[in-house]
Amino acid sequence: GAVVSQHPSWVICKSGTSVKIECRSLDFQATTMFWYRQFPKQSLMLMATSNEGSKATYEQGVEKDKFLINHASLTLSTLTVTSAHPEDSSFYICSAGGTSGYEQYFGPGTRLTVT
Amino acid sequence: GENVEQHPSTLSVQEGDSAVIKCTYSDSASNYFPWYKQELGKRPQLIIDIRSNVGEKKDQRIAVTLNKTAKHFSLHITETQPEDSAVYFCAASSKQAGTALIFGKGTTLSVSS
């Protein structure tokens, strides 16, 4: 149990275009999901907290108009990178916390490359 | 907000030796401290975790200790094997269950045979 999926697993896009990444909790309901970004050889940096039915909470320094987060249901959160630039190229990982405990369940990640 | 420091950044050991990775946290309200192993291009994999009401937890070759007063926690791996080679991250979260994890910068562990 506690499986989180992400789609796509990798994507290449041109500079200036937008990319949507989906994060789904497959066998549990997630009232809260988190989005992280990981650059090569670096740690996971929290970008935002996504709450079902309400606006996301962004970490300092993360542009909310550039990284659009929608959590329309208890099993789906989406991250849209708008007007992507090469510096947005990174590994994006979502996680979901069930209501029963502290542990978080990570998606497999999405490798975004902006050319 | 929470800040997690992790040391060392790289660690090389011989097969069979022990490895210790240390982390400190800043938020005294933090009460959950997991450790993750991450292989290149993969998601972090939880290897052990500890809550603030416990001082030590062990699972076969892996153990974690927590000192709440000093706000630090450590990962201990005994009898290391080459397959233990990976990047290890500590993390902390505060308040109630379901809050975001704040990660340390990671330790690259290399186990040579």
Confidence at residue A98, expressed as pLDDT on a 0 to 100 scale? 65
Omega before A40 cis (within 30°)? no
Per-residue pLDDT band for A5 (boundaries 50, 70, 90) equals very high
Asked if A46 and B49 come within 8 Å (Cβ–Cβ), the reply is: no
* Residue owning tokens 């933090």: B30
Asked if B106 and A49 come within 8 Å (Cβ–Cβ), the reply is: no
How much of chain A, in percent, has pLDDT values that exceed 90? 77
- Among all residues of chain B, which has the CA nearest to that of A6? B43
A10 burial (CB, 10 Å; 0-12 / 13-18 / 19+) is exposed
Distance from C-alpha of A113 to C-alpha of A90, rounded to nearest angstrom:
7
For B1-113, strand residue ranges (E) read 4-7, 10-14, 19-25, 30-38, 45-51, 56-59, 62-67, 72-77, 86-94, 102-103, 107-112
Confidence at residue B54, expressed as pLDDT on a 0 to 100 scale? 85
Per-residue pLDDT band for A90 (boundaries 50, 70, 90) equals very high
What average pLDDT does the segment A4-8 reach? Answer: 97
Confidence at residue B97, expressed as pLDDT on a 0 to 100 scale? 44
Average pLDDT per block of 10 residues along chain B, 113 residues long: 95 98 94 95 95 92 96 98 97 75 97 96
What average pLDDT does the segment A69-78 reach? Answer: 92
What average pLDDT does the segment A85-101 reach? Answer: 88
Of B41, B44, B102, the CB nearest to A46: B102
Helix (H, G, I), strand (E, B) or coil at A74: coil
What b-and-e string marks burial along A53-91, b requiring 16 or more CB atoms within 10 Å of the CB?
eeebbbbeebeeeebbbebeebbbbbbebeebeeebbbb
Nearby residues of B51 by Cβ (< 8 Å), 6 or more positions away? A102, B31, B32, B33
pLDDT in tens, A43-73: 999 999 998 888 999 999 999 999 999 998 8
Interface of B with A (CB under 8 A): 32, 34, 41-44, 46, 49, 51, 89, 93, 97-106
What average pLDDT does the segment A95-105 reach? Answer: 78
Asked if A46 and B100 come within 8 Å (Cβ–Cβ), the reply is: yes
DSSP code of B100? P
Confidence at residue B52, expressed as pLDDT on a 0 to 100 scale? 86
How much of chain A, in percent, has pLDDT values that exceed 70? 96
How many beta-carbon contacts under 8 Å exist across A and B? Answer: 52
What average pLDDT does the segment A85-90 reach? Answer: 97
Task: Using the predicted structure, report yes or no on whether residue A89 has a pLDDT greater than 80.
Answer: yes
Interface of A with B (CB under 8 A): 31-32, 34, 42-46, 49, 91, 93, 95, 97-104, 106-109, 111
How long is chain B?
113
